[in-house]
Structures are given as structure tokens and as C-alpha cells.
A and B are shown apart, each in its own frame.
Chain A
């Protein structure tokens, strides 16, 4: 019995974890208890040193002093304030007018606004609720297919998961030990591609099932000119002019002044110049009533400026090197606060609500991480990572086989676990194996991020579907404009509507596996340093691909590395300093 236990400690521990979690007691405590329980057994059996748990205070300290985690409250707070600022509503309203005259236009508007909101913040609920409240009734009023309408809204809302800045990417970067900036750069093209695939699907629907997504009738186009024309051309003209202004600024001013400027820096500033030009035109047009811009064009420019400004605060400052991703979150939150104040939407009560929700959400997230650290202390101690590695390295098909199995695994787990649980429990076990197989961890992280998006869309538990259900009409209602009696949106219509988009997300996973270049572009911006060269400094008997703090624990002599040390001396031992040097070298290399 004892021998059996000693032999199979890791699988038994993992199996027990599944049971502990399924009990339905809070995940954080179940995880930690599992670690402590099996740690005690391991100590009894002589598998682990009695000093095992002495490492816990330092592990907790590592979680506390982790700057990256600060992004969780910052982006959550920003998202909550933004939800309350009314920006999403204005955007949906105006962009709906812009695309509305086209067949399928409202669907395109939802996808476009979904992507834009996704680029300002990383919170799914915000987008889905706004779009469900603003766009869904309009789509239903003008005869959109109920399944298609709900699917496109839920899916566009989940874009917030994969388009930077997203919490998923931040946490993935943290857990895989990569820089958040690289993770953002790696997720850009896949995120935009995914939005593009949604648009292609909407286009297909518009072409082959015209009845599912009709154009807005004339009387619903509110922003027409006095003479009845749409004013769309005026917008096209201002968009082209703004692009020209951006290119001129870049070519003849910026590059001329700073010849060594990096590409991402130039992109950010040129986009800013273009947007500034359009804004100036719109302001002059409105102030002097010149009428060289149509009402529609003017309105579109005005609603696009706030989200573009926030994107600049959050992402622009990161790519310009002015702020860290964490600070970008704080800047975005401050920007959102100022905007909400300017729009007179921010009451004392709403601010308190936002702070309370943020505090509770960050608390449960960090506690899952703390629980996962307690679990991993024991799990690595009993060589659980070796067991997992063994299981996964022996898969047929090398890299590809591994990626396929892992993606299926994550897809299935995502039915039960949300992305925080997946990232804190599962990802740290997969990362080292992926690295051993020569898989780029940024690519891997983005891949898992796209995959985990499906967890928001799975019927029946997907959060995005839940949010949509909560705001979509559940009973017959009278439409306010037409006065007609409208049928409700049934839960099954929402479920059916989600399925094509889950399939599109899976196609995206496949595409990303086939074309890793989409993520690997992140390398082009940075000086080429081969991380494997930096790692040569690490003593050979240390597994080099474990997360930093585990590395530190190991070097302090948790027993499984065979070096029989006394209780770890807390404070600055020589090993500690060595570990820090390595850490610094690694960070410098990124």
C-alpha cells in the first residue's frame, strides 16, 4: 500500500484534486487544502522534507510582489467604469447608422464595435451586455434572424478575451514567464483575423441568406442629410484624408526627425496624427457650421475619438515604451474615470460599486493563484511535473500531436473551468512541456487564449451566453418604434446561434497551429537574443523551464532535487542571488 502510494503519488494527488474541486467548495481553498493534505502525507512517507511548507511565505510574497497581477484590478476597474460611461452605447448607435444601410450592416457594426471595445478593455461582460441591450432590439425590429443576431453579439463580445489588452493574455504571459508586451504583439494578428472571420461569416449570411440580416429601412436611418442622402461618402472622404494625413506625418515629419524610430512607435504616432486630423476637421465643421462634412461623418468621428484615446492610453503607451502593461491598465482606468466624469455618468454610488466588484474579483483571482501555488509546491515535490511531462512528451506526432491533444483537452476543460482556473492550474503544467518540444511560448499562449474563448461561448454554461440571456427579451414585448408585438428570443435560439461562432473559433485555433507566423511577428520588433543562450548560466541540474519562483524554491533545496539541505534559510542566500541574476538576465533578454 505504502509502496503503491509512493510510486503513484502524483496521479493520486491529481485525481484527488478533481474530486476536491467538483465538491463545489471554493476552488482556491480546495486547491490549497489538496496541496497541504498531500504534502503532509508526503512528509509522513518520507517523500518530502518536513520543511516543505517553510517555502509558503515566500511563495505568497512572490504573488504579492508580482507587478503583472496588478493589471487584474486595473483592467477590471477600467472595464466597470467604461460600462457605466455610456461610450459603448454611443458607438453602437452611430456605427449602426454607418453600416446599417448595407445588408448585414448591423452585424458588421456589432463585430466592429466588439473589436474596438475589445481593444480598449479586457472584460467580456461589458460588451455583451451593451450590445445585447442596444443592438439586439434594433436587429430584431428590422427582421434579423434571432439565432444569427444573438450569435454575432455573444461572439463579438468575447473578442475582448483575445484582442489586447486582455486579462487572459496578461495572465497567460505571467504563467508562461513571458513578457506581456510580447504576448500582446503576438495576439494582435490572430485577434484581428478572428474578428475578420466573424465578418466573413456575416458576409456569407448576407449573401446566401439575405432574409437573415436585412438592411435598415430608410426611416430607421436617422443621420441622413437634409436632402435625404446618406452622407456615407463624406465619411469615406474624411477617412481617406485622415489616412493620408497619417502617412504624410510619418514620412515627412516623424521619420525625417527621428530616423531610427521603431515601426510600432511610428504606427502609434501616425494613427494619433490621423485621428487628430479627423477630429480637428469635425470640430471646425461643427463650430462654424461649414457643412463640408455630413452629419453622419461628423458623428462617427466624434464617437470614435474616446475609444481611440483609450486605446492610445492603454496600448499606445506600452508600444511607445512610456508605460508598462500594468501602468497602461492604470492609465486606461484613469482615462475611463475622466471620461465618465466628463459625461456626467459617474456617481459616487457607481464608483463604489465598481471598486467593490473589482476588489472581490481580484481577491478571488489572486486566491486561486495562491491555492495553485500551494498545490504546485507539493505536486512538484512529488515529481508531478515529471509525470505530466512524461504523459505529454510520449504523445505521438511530436509538436503537432501535443498541440492537438492539448487544445482538445483545454476545449473540453473549458466546459467546466473558467479561464482563471485553467491558467493557474493547467497552463503551468503545459508550459514547460511545450518549451521542451521547441514550441514558442508566446504562440502557445495565444493559441490557448483563442481556445479558451470558446469557454465563453459553450452552451449551456458559457458566460457570454448567460449575459446575453439576461438582457435579451425573454417574453413577448411591444416594440417601441413600430408598436408591433415581438416574439421573445428563446434560450435555444441563443445556443444555436453560438454554435457557428464556436466552430469559427476552432477554425482559428487550426489556422494558428498551421500558421504560427501570425503570432511570431512579435519577434520582429525586438533585438534578436536567443533565450537558450541566456539560460546556459543556470546550473545544469536545475530544470530551467520552471516558473521563476519554483526555480527559486528548487534552488533553496526542496527535497526532490536530491540535495539534502536543512530548512531553507530565508533571506539572501548565495543561491537566491544567483537565481535573481538569472531572472534579471532573462528579463533583459525579452
Chain B
């Protein structure tokens, strides 16, 4: 059963990557709240104290960039990058796993590689030259530039993890990895809560 040992190892690697992106996602989503407060605070301060700060304006989109770049892998882990599955959504789990293998190898990984390859030198340049935003009072550029290679690394890792899970499944040695819980799932959960509240009331 040497083959099984290999698959188990691969699944262990996949589980590690999943845990990493889960941790990153659950930490980074707090930045949503921070961005909301920074942006609202900035508007209020500008109106009330007649002060405006480019650093705050830039901080908003730095924060949001951090959210969507660093959560790219997390979102893939949760299978919430939208698909058009009107046709292939009816295929068997095996066929869908094959589609994901194909898509990961030929769509996701090449794209992530291209972005990684191209964005790294840009980050290095802005870091080495200590480039600062051209806006008065603007921020350092390199932290935002650094988010790109980190984000695409996390995405690549998650792509590999998904690939491993699909392969284990196709080899008959892993569970069906495709849980089609998309954006609607959260809404259904919420509906359940509202229902409970309404029942408690009425």
C-alpha cells in the first residue's frame, strides 16, 4: 500500500495549506471593518475639522487591497470564486473534479505564475528606491506592492491544495472535495436566523 502512503502525504500537505489560508483569511477580514472606520472617520474629520489627509485616503485602498489579495486563497478554499456552472454543474462529481484539475493546471496556475513573475521585480524596485506616493503626504508604495506577490503566492498554494484534493478524490482515496456552498449559503444561514427572531417575536 505504498501508493496510499503517498496520497496521505499529499493530503497532509493540502490540509496544511488549507489551515494557512483559513488562518490568513480569518485574520485579514478584520481589515474590512478597519477600512470602513478609516473611511467614515476620514470623511467626518474632513467635514468637521476641515482637515484632509492623503495618507488616510491611501490607507483605505491599501487596506482593501490587502483584503482582496490576501483573501484570494481563502476564497478559493471556500469555493466562492463565481463559476458559470449552468452546464457543468449537472455533471458527476468525478467529471467536475476533472474540470477543476484542468482549470487549476491551465487557468489558475499560469495566471498566478505570470502575476508573481511580473510583480516581484516591481516590489523590489519600489522597496529599494523607497518610492513614496506622488500625493502630498502620501504613503510608502512598497507595502502595497508587496501585497501582490504575497497574495498570488497564497493563491498558488491554495490552487495546489485544491489540485491535490481533486487528485486524491479521482484516485478514490479522498472525499469529494467539491462542496458547492457558494455565496448563497451565507444568505440561507441568515434567513434561518431572521426566521428564529421572527418566531421568537410572534
Q: How far is the CB of A587 from chain B (nearest CB, A)?
A: 15
Q: Are A331 and B40 in contact (CB under 8 A)?
A: yes
Name A331's contact: one of B43, B67, B78, B184 (CB within 8 Å): B43
Contact partner, B26, options A28, A322, A334, A356, Cβ 8 Å: A356
Q: Is A380 an interface residue (CB 8 A)?
A: no
Stretch at the interface among B1-9, B27-35, B169-177: B27-35
Contact yes or no, B111 A36, CB < 8 A = yes
The answer, yes or no, to whether B53 is at the interface (CB within 8 Å) is: no
Q: A24-B88, A355-B32 are in contact. Are A86 and B197 (CB under 8 A)?
A: yes
Contact B32 A22 (CB under 8 A): no
Distance (whole angstroms) from the CB of B119 to the closest CB of chain A = 5
Task: Annotate A5-28 by CB proximity to B: 1 below 8 A, 0 otherwise.
Answer: 000000000000000111111111
With A33-B106, A36-B111, A36-B114 as contacts: A27 and B64 at CB distance below 8 Å: no
A125 to B57, CA, bound (A): 30
A584 near B: Cβ within 8 Å?
no
Q: Select B108's contact among A29, A69, A417, A572, beta carbons within 8 Å.
A: A29
Which of A99-107, A361-369, A392-400 binds B?
Answer: A361-369
Contact for B122 among A57, A70, A73, CB less than 8 A: A57
What interface size band does chain B fall in?
35 or more
Question: Are A362 and B103 in contact, CB atoms less than 8 angstroms apart?
Answer: no
Tell me the complex Cα distance, A84–B114, Å.
Answer: 41
Contact in complex: A25, B29 (CB < 8 Å): no
Q: Tell me if B37 is interfacial: C-beta within 8 Å of chain A.
A: yes
CA distance A366 to B85 in the complex (A): 20
Taking CB atoms, residues of chain A closer than 8 Å to B100 are 25
How many Å lie between the Cα of A368 and that of B81 in the bound state? 9
Q: Is A267 in contact with chain B by the CB < 8 A criterion?
A: no
| Chain B residues, Cβ within 8 Å of A65 | 61, 65
- Given A73-B67, A358-B29, A359-B29: A26 touches B103 (CB 8 Å cut-off): yes
Q: How far is the CB of B201 from chain A (nearest CB, A)?
A: 8
Distance from A299 Cβ to chain B, minimum over Cβ atoms (Å): 15
A93 CB to closest chain B CB (Å) equals 9
- Answer whether residue A466 sits at the interface, using C-beta atoms and an 8 A cutoff: yes
The docked-state distance in angstroms from the alpha carbon of A542 to that of B169 is 52
Interface residue B188 (Cβ < 8 Å from any Cβ of A): yes
**A359 interface neighbour in B25, B145, B189, Cβ under 8 Å:** B25
Which residue of B has the minimal Cβ distance to A34?
Answer: B107
A56, B195: Cβ atoms under 8 Å?
no
Convert B144-155 into 0s and 1s, putting 1 for each residue whose CB lies closer than 8 angstroms to a CB of A: 110110000000
Among B62-95, those with CB < 8 Å from A are 64-65, 67-69, 71-72, 74-76, 78, 80-89
Q: A24 with B198: in contact, given A73-B35, A360-B78, A416-B86 (CB under 8 Å)?
A: no
A287, chain B: closest CB distance, angstroms: 25
A402 at the interface (CB under 8 A from B): no
A324 to B194, CA, bound (A): 32
Q: Does B19 contact A (CB under 8 A)?
A: no
**B187, A467: Cβ atoms under 8 Å?**
yes
Contact A353 B186 (CB under 8 A): yes
Decide yes or no: A333 and B36 within 8 Å by CB, A22-B84, A64-B61 being known contacts: yes
The reply to whether B184 and A133 contact each other, CB–CB distance below 8 Å, is no
Given the contacts A351-B33, A360-B71, A25 and B102 also touching, CB distance less than 8 Å: yes
Nearest A residue (CB) for B103? A25
Chain A positions 28-50 with a Cβ under 8 Å from a chain B Cβ? 28-30, 32-33, 36-37
Q: A75-95 CB contact bits vs B (8 Å, 1 = yes)?
A: 001001001101001000000
The answer to whether residues A364 and B26 also contact, given A29-B108, A56-B114, A83-B194 and a CB cut-off of 8 A, is no
By beta carbon, the residue of chain B nearest A78 is B36
Closest to B108 in A: A29
Closest to B119 in A: A57
Identify which of residues 105-119 in chain B touch chain A, using a CB-to-CB cut-off of 8 Å: 106-108, 110-111, 114-115, 118-119
Establish whether residues B194 and A130, one from each chain, have CB atoms under 8 Å apart when the complex forms. Answer: yes
Are A53 and B114 in contact, with the CB atoms below 8 A? Answer: yes
- Taking CB atoms and an 8 Å cut-off, the chain A residues in 372-428 that contact chain B are 374, 416-418, 420-421
**B96-138 toward A: CB 8 Å interface, digit per residue (1/0)?**
1001101100111011001100110010010000000010000
Q: How far is the CB of B12 from chain A (nearest CB, A)?
A: 25
A363 touches B103 (CB 8 A): no
Min Cβ gap B147→A in Å is 8
> A362–B36 contact, CB under 8 A?
no
Q: Which residue of B lies closest to A330 (CB)?
A: B39
Q: Does A470 contact B (CB under 8 A)?
A: yes
Q: Indicate if the CB atoms of B197 and A22 lie closer than 8 Å.
A: no
Among A33, A64, A330, the residue within 8 A (CB) of B111 is: A33
Contact of B119 among A28, A60, A323 (CB under 8 A): A60
With A32-B107, A327-B40, A364-B80 known to touch, is A24 a contact of B85 (CB < 8 Å)?
Answer: yes
In B156-173, the 8 Å CB interface with A consists of: none
Of A61, A129, A364, the contact of B194 (CB 8 Å cutoff): A129
Determine whether the beta carbon of A24 is less than 8 Å from that of B96: yes
Q: Known contacts A24-B96, A334-B40; decide if A363 and B67 are in contact (CB<8 Å).
A: yes
Please report the C-alpha to C-alpha distance between residue A384 and residue B184 in the assembled complex, in whole angstroms: 35
Give Cα distance in the complex from A329 to B100, angstroms: 36
Given contacts A351-B33, A355-B32, contact A22 B64 (CB under 8 A): no
Task: Find B82's partner among A27, A70, A86, A572 (CB 8 Å cutoff).
Answer: A27
Bound CA–CA A134/B99 (angstroms): 41
CA distance A318 to B182 in the complex (A): 33
Q: Which of B72, B83, B119, B186 contacts A24 (CB 8 A)?
A: B83
Q: Which A-chain residue is minimally distant from B30 (CB atoms)?
A: A355
Within the complex, what minimum Cβ distance (angstroms) separates B150 from chain A?
A: 13
* A89 pairs with B197, CB closer than 8 A: yes
Which residues in window 487-527 of A have CB below 8 A to B? none
A355 touches B33 (CB 8 A): yes
Is residue B191 contacting chain A, with contact meaning CB distance below 8 A?
A: yes
Decide: A129 near B99, CB < 8 A? Known: A29-B108, A327-B40.
Answer: no
A317 contacts chain B at the CB level, 8 A cutoff: yes
Which of A26, A57, A70 meets B64, CB within 8 Å? A70
12 residue pairs from A and B, CB less than 8 Å apart: A23-B99, A33-B108, A36-B111, A37-B110, A56-B119, A61-B145, A84-B193, A133-B191, A134-B198, A331-B43, A356-B26, A362-B32
User: Which positions in A face B, CB cutoff 8 Å?
Assistant: 20-30, 32-33, 36-37, 53-54, 56-57, 60-61, 64-67, 69-70, 73-74, 77, 80, 83-84, 86, 89, 125, 129-130, 132-134, 317, 322-324, 326-327, 329-331, 333-334, 337, 351-353, 355-364, 366-368, 371, 374, 416-418, 420-421, 461, 463, 466-467, 470-471, 480, 570, 572
| Leading 5 A-B pairs by shortest Cβ distance | A25-B103, A24-B88, A330-B39, A26-B81, A33-B107
